[in-house]
């Protein structure tokens, strides 16, 4: 491992013993944390064989590349003979093998292992023989030093952002990977010799406290790396203790401390988390029945030994609501995430039994985990969980009307809410990653859930609302319409078969205009007035609907398999949509209503790419374009947003630096004219 431990690729899941006892924040770097190194003491990580660690996606991919190179190298020399003196010696690979030198944490930890120490003498005895062999044949030479780290580009950033939301590596057109390549290409216009625009990594490599972000860091976009939650700024508030002597930052896995946790005694705090869950997550994905959950919570408070209140499914539900409410609030307020992790790990203790309680209980448990993962980078793999929930829902038959025949109305509405919540999750995650959908519209023959709240739904029917107050369920119902339009955009604009279809240009443009009209209608028919239940919930503000409208318009008008060639009108539409998308995100940021999660980071990144592309690709003089438009001002807003997102996502700091370099070049060009 490099001496610079600030960029360690391996990190433990929990704090070391010394930091834990001293109540100090541990960076969890392996094989020794920074605090222990500074104190010149032996870190407990060096002796803890049970410790688990996480590695960045970039590091694992680099290991895969090295392994592939080594396999090729050994295959080429498998049957090679080596001339030695006047005879020919056939090399036995089992007796004289060359072991490439490892780098990074694997080599360092191996250097500290007992096995390595026991074999050290034997290796010294073989050293002279290996030296002789190395002089004879390149097979026994050390591998060449790795090439200098490639300079960052938009394509690499988008790949890494997307890969870290899932374990698979397929990225389709809607993810923006092709568009990132195209944007990288048009940036040649900013260089005097029309060569590739490269980014200088050390000019913008300072974060808030002056530490280098990019030093020895090949791919910093560790979007879902668990360690990121320990790297919040000093300005972020943190409660050092919860539930007595349990340190929040030291909890990453269920252990004895978490196993013994009871519901916190601060009932007002618990009530705030529950209310925020139902104001925020419930108005996105109406999975639970609020009345039932509050009743279960009250019974558990009244009698902690009540068998009904202590069922695994009930306890899992309660702890997950607290976890989601806490992490959703943290995503808006940029506050410390440890509390939500405590609740999440507590909920996991009941997961296995909750899933065994029946298909609907299992489906509910999976969906609650998906909701958690949208906000918390420590959450499980979002895409796989959504696919699992979709398959289970189809297996139950929630997508077909025959399943609901003779079912009580309240049960029907609850199951429809669950099914269409899965549908919305599927569309959101699959579009973000450019993946095929798990649920297909042609297979669904049921109507959506009703736009009425729980108190008006009975087993025998739905009572008309008794007041003119806005309905909470109108919000997720309207978001469902947006997800359906997004699905149509994916099928009709980004299907790879469109590249070889025989549609004429007017027919292709008609598809584009029809989808644009769908988006316009969706925006004009948004619920009014919006429910006023919490002023920090992003999607209970008009700015959220504007942000999503313009983000989808930009998705519609950027180069695609439907219309790969741009004309000036579409470029101007893309320019306006991407500009307004950035401005609406900044408006929510100023209102403290922007959710700083990985989905919005990816959305803002692609909107920024669209703004750069639409500015640079215009046929007229770039100097004139920069003077006549607000491109520089828009990108300055994007830089400010990435600056804030950088508190939570190191990837945002790198993106910020890349955009800042482009803006700097834009400003030079504008001043030169």
Pairing of strands 81-84, 53-55: unpaired
Dihedral-angle region of residue 508 (phi above 0 means left; psi in -120 to 50 means alpha; beta otherwise) = alpha
- Reported as a pLDDT band with limits 50, 70 and 90, residue 65 is confident
Write down the pLDDT at residue 295: 94
133 domain-assigned: yes
Taking residues 565-572, what's their average pLDDT? Answer: 93
Out of 88, 118, 147, a domain closes at: 147
pLDDT at 309 over 50: yes
- What's the DSSP call for residue 221? -
pLDDT at 390 over 60: yes
Which one has a higher pLDDT value, 22 or 3?
A: 22
Write down the pLDDT at residue 259: 72
235 domain-assigned: no
Taking residues 644-673, what's their average pLDDT? Answer: 90
7 domain-assigned: yes
Residue 107 shares a structural domain with residue 139: yes
Half-sphere exposure of 249 (CA within 13 A, CB side): 25
Q: Which range has the worst mean pLDDT, 63-77, 137-151, 308-322?
A: 137-151
Q: Which range has the worst mean pLDDT, 42-46, 127-131, 183-187, 581-585?
A: 127-131
Residue 100 shares a structural domain with residue 50: no
Q: What is the CATH number of the domain that holds 41?
A: 4.10.240
Taking residues 390-403, what's their average pLDDT? Answer: 96
Write down the pLDDT at residue 289: 95
640 domain-assigned: no
SS3 12: strand
- What's the DSSP call for residue 619? S
Neighbours of 289 (CB within 10 A): 16
Write down the pLDDT at residue 511: 96
pLDDT at 87 over 50: no
Which one has a higher pLDDT value, 57 or 279?
A: 279
216 domain-assigned: no
Out of 97, 112, 147, a domain closes at: 147
Write down the pLDDT at residue 264: 78
Query: CA-to-CA distance for 515 and 485, rounded, in angstroms?
Result: 7
pLDDT at 347 over 90: yes
Write down the pLDDT at residue 198: 57
Query: CA-to-CA distance for 555 and 494, rounded, in angstroms?
Result: 10
pLDDT at 10 over 80: no
Question: What are the b/e assignments for 28-64, b being 16+ CB within 10 Å?
Answer: bbbbbbbbbeeeeeebbbeeeeebebbbbbbbebbbe
Q: Which range has the worst mean pLDDT, 270-279, 331-340, 624-633?
A: 331-340
Q: What is the pLDDT of residues 443-462, one digit of tens each?
A: 999 999 999 999 999 999 99
100 domain-assigned: yes
Which one has a higher pLDDT value, 74 or 149?
A: 74
276 neighbors 290 (Cβ within 8 angstroms): no
368 domain-assigned: no
Residue 90 shares a structural domain with residue 135: yes
Out of 147, 175, 206, a domain closes at: 147
- Reported as a pLDDT band with limits 50, 70 and 90, residue 153 is low
Query: CA-to-CA distance for 410 and 508, rounded, in angstroms?
Result: 44
Write down the pLDDT at residue 255: 55
Write down the pLDDT at residue 32: 86
CA Rg value for the chain: 28
- Reported as a pLDDT band with limits 50, 70 and 90, residue 235 is very low
- Reported as a pLDDT band with limits 50, 70 and 90, residue 195 is low
- Reported as a pLDDT band with limits 50, 70 and 90, residue 186 is confident
Q: Which range has the worst mean pLDDT, 21-25, 503-507, 550-554?
A: 21-25
The values of phi and psi at residue 457, to 5°, are -105, 125
Dihedral-angle region of residue 73 (phi above 0 means left; psi in -120 to 50 means alpha; beta otherwise) = alpha
Which one has a higher pLDDT value, 641 or 435?
A: 641
Q: What is the pLDDT of residues 104-126, one digit of tens each?
A: 333 333 344 444 344 445 445 44
Quote the Cα angle for 383-388-391, to 5°.
125
- The overall pTM is greater than 0.85: no
Taking residues 281-305, what's their average pLDDT? Answer: 92
pLDDT at 598 over 80: yes
Taking residues 349-376, what's their average pLDDT? Answer: 91
Write down the pLDDT at residue 307: 84
Q: Which range has the worst mean pLDDT, 5-19, 412-426, 457-471, 580-594?
A: 5-19
The total number of structural domains in the chain stands at 2
pLDDT at 278 over 60: yes
Write down the pLDDT at residue 178: 65
Tell me the pLDDT of the chain averaged across its residues.
77
Which structure tokens are listed for 554? 């930009």
Quote the Cα angle for 490-494-496, to 5°.
130
Taking residues 307-319, what's their average pLDDT? Answer: 90
Residue 51 shares a structural domain with residue 111: no
Q: What is the pLDDT of residues 463-517, one digit of tens each?
A: 988 778 889 999 999 999 999 999 999 999 998 887 778 899 999 999 999 999 9
pLDDT at 243 over 70: no
Expressed as residue numbers, the domain containing 34 is: 1-55
130 domain-assigned: yes
212 DSSP β-pair partners: 206
């Amino acid at each position: 491992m490099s001496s610079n431990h600030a960029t360690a690729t391996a990190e433990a899941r929990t704090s070391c013993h010394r930091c834990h006892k001293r109540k100090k924040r541990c960076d969890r770097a392996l094989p020794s944390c920074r605090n222990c190194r500074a104190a010149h003491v032996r870190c407990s990580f060096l002796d803890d064989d049970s410790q688990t660690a996480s590695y960045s996606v970039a590091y694992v991919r680099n290991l895969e590349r090295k392994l592939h190179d080594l396999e090729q190298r050994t295959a080429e020399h498998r049957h090679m003979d080596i001339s030695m003196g006047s005879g020919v010696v056939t090399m036995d690979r089992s007796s004289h093998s060359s072991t490439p030198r490892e780098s990074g944490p694997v080599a360092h930890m191996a250097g500290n292992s007992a096995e390595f120490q026991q074999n050290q003498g034997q290796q010294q005895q073989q050293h002279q023989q290996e030296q002789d062999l190395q002089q004879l044949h390149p097979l026994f030479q050390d591998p060449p030093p790795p090439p200098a780290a490639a300079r960052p580009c938009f394509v690499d950033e988008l790949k890494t952002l997307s890969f870290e939301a899932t374990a698979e590596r397929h990225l389709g057109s809607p993810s923006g990977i092709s568009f990132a390549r195209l944007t990288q290409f048009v940036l040649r216009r900013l260089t005097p010799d029309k060569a590739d625009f490269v980014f200088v990594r050390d000019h913008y490599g300072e974060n808030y406290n002056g530490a280098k972000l990019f030093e020895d860091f090949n791919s910093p976009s560790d979007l879902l790396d668990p360690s990121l939650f320990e790297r919040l700024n000093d300005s972020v508030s943190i409660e050092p203790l919860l539930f007595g002597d349990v340190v929040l930052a030291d909890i990453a896995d269920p252990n004895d401390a978490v196993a013994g946790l009871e519901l916190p005694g601060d009932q007002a705090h618990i009530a705030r988390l529950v209310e925020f869950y139902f104001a925020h997550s419930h108005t996105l994905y109406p999975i639970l029945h609020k009345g039932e959950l509050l009743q279960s919570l009250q019974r558990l408070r009244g009698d902690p030994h009540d068998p009904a209140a202590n069922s695994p499914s009930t306890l899992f539900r309660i702890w997950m609501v607290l976890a989601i409410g806490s992490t959703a609030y943290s995503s808006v307020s940029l506050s410390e995430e440890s509390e939500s992790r405590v609740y999440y790990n507590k909920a996991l203790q009941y997961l296995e039994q909750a899933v065994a309680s029946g298909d609907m209980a299992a489906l509910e448990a999976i969906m609650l985990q998906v909701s958690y993962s949208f906000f918390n980078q420590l959450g499980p793999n979002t895409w796989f969980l959504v696919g699992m929930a979709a398959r289970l829902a189809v297996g139950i038959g929630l997508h077909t009307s025959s399943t609901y025949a003779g079912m009580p109305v309240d049960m029907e509405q609850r199951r429809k809410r669950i099914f269409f919540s899965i549908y919305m999750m599927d569309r959101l995650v699959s579009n973000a990653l450019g993946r095929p959908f798990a649920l297909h519209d042609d297979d669904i023959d049921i109507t959506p859930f009703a736009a009425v709240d729980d108190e008006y739904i009975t087993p025998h029917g739905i009572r008309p609302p008794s007041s003119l107050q806005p309905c909470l369920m109108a919000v997720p119902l309207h978001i469902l319409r947006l997800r359906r339009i997004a699905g149509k955009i994916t099928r009709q604009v980004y299907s790879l078969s469109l590249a070889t279809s025989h549609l004429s240009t007017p027919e292709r443009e008609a598809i584009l205009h029809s989808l644009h009209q769908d988006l316009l209608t969706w925006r004009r028919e948004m619920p009014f007035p919006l429910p006023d239940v919490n002023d920090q919930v992003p999607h209970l503000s008009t700015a959220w609907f504007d942000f999503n409208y313009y983000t989808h318009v930009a998705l519609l008008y950027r180069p695609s398999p439907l219309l790969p060639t741009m004309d000036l009108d579409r470029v101007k539409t893309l320019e306006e949509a991407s500009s307004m998308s950035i401005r609406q995100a900044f408006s929510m940021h100023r209102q403290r209503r922007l959710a700083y999660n990985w989905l919005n980071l990816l959305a803002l990144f692609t909107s920024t790419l669209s703004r750069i592309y639409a500015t640079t690709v215009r046929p007229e003089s770039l100097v004139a374009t920069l003077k006549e438009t607000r491109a520089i001002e828009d990108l300055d807003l994007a830089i400010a947003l990435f600056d804030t997102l950088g508190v939570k996502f190191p990837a945002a700091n790198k993106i910020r630096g890349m955009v800042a370099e482009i803006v700097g070049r834009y400003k030079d060009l504008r001043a030169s004219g």
